Amino acid sequence: MKQIMQYVIRRAAESDADALAALARQTFIDTYLELNDPQDVRQHCDQAFGLAQQLAEICDPHYVVLLQFHADELIGFAQVAHKPQPACITQEKAIALYRYYLKKNWHGKGAALPLLAAAEQAAIESGADYLWLGMWKHNQRAAAFYRKAGFAHVGVTTYQFGPNLEIDDVFLKRIG
């Protein structure tokens, strides 16, 4: 008999910034450290996932920051944000799934889809008809997940990571 997990997904509050910063940092390290220069990963984490940055994003009206809990444990987060669209996204009412991470020990346990559904709902409530994302081309596990969740690969864009200009695959899903 399969156990059904119960999750609470809610919008982040200012008081969550510290826990969010720690989770964002850890999930990014778990995802990218193995295939990248450790110094580049640390530098990116310092710039993108510090307490001040997370607090600013939580307070920014152009962001929706969602937190996912199982019992009292923070296990994942998603950020839906109005970001500049890559050239391959031509839809007018498109919004970015800017960040979407789960703790590594929650991969494959059914936690990802409820968080994605909440992010899609937040995007719809923001007036979007499409959700797009950029994802590092070497993250094949994530690519398979997004395809299974109804996203289509629509192009590529570039992303500066340390001294390297990386290629991100761009995915798009109609949600509205």
10-29: pLDDT as tens digits: 999 999 999 999 999 999 99
Residue 98 in this model has a pLDDT that exceeds 90: yes
Q: What pLDDT score does 1 carry?
A: 43
pLDDT-derived band at 99, boundaries 50, 70, 90 = very high
* Residue with the larger pLDDT of the pair 20 and 136: 20
Q: How is residue 142 written in tokens?
A: 């994530």
Higher pLDDT: 97 or 37? It is 97
Return the amino acid letter for 70: H
3-state secondary structure of 174: strand
State the DSSP H helix or E strand holding residue 31, giving kind and residue range, or none if neither.
Answer: helix 17-32
Asked whether residue 31 carries a pLDDT value surpassing 90, the answer given is no
pLDDT digits (tens, 9 = 90+) for 143-172: 999 999 999 999 999 988 888 888 999 999
Mean pLDDT, residues 31-43: 86
Q: What is the pLDDT of residue 92?
A: 92
Output the average pLDDT for the chain. Answer: 93
Q: Is domain 8-174 given the CATH code 3.40.50.1000 in the classification?
A: no
In the chain, where the domains are located:
8-174
Segment 95-115 mean pLDDT: 95
DSSP code string of 68-118: EEETTEEEEEEEEE--PPPTT---TTEEEEEEEEE-GGGTTTT-HHHHHHH
Give pLDDT, residue 4.
Answer: 58
If one compares 1 and 137, the residue with the highest pLDDT of the two is 137
pLDDT value, residue 163: 86
Using one digit for the tens of pLDDT, what is the confidence trace for 75-87? 999 999 999 999 9
The predicted model scores a pTM of 0.92
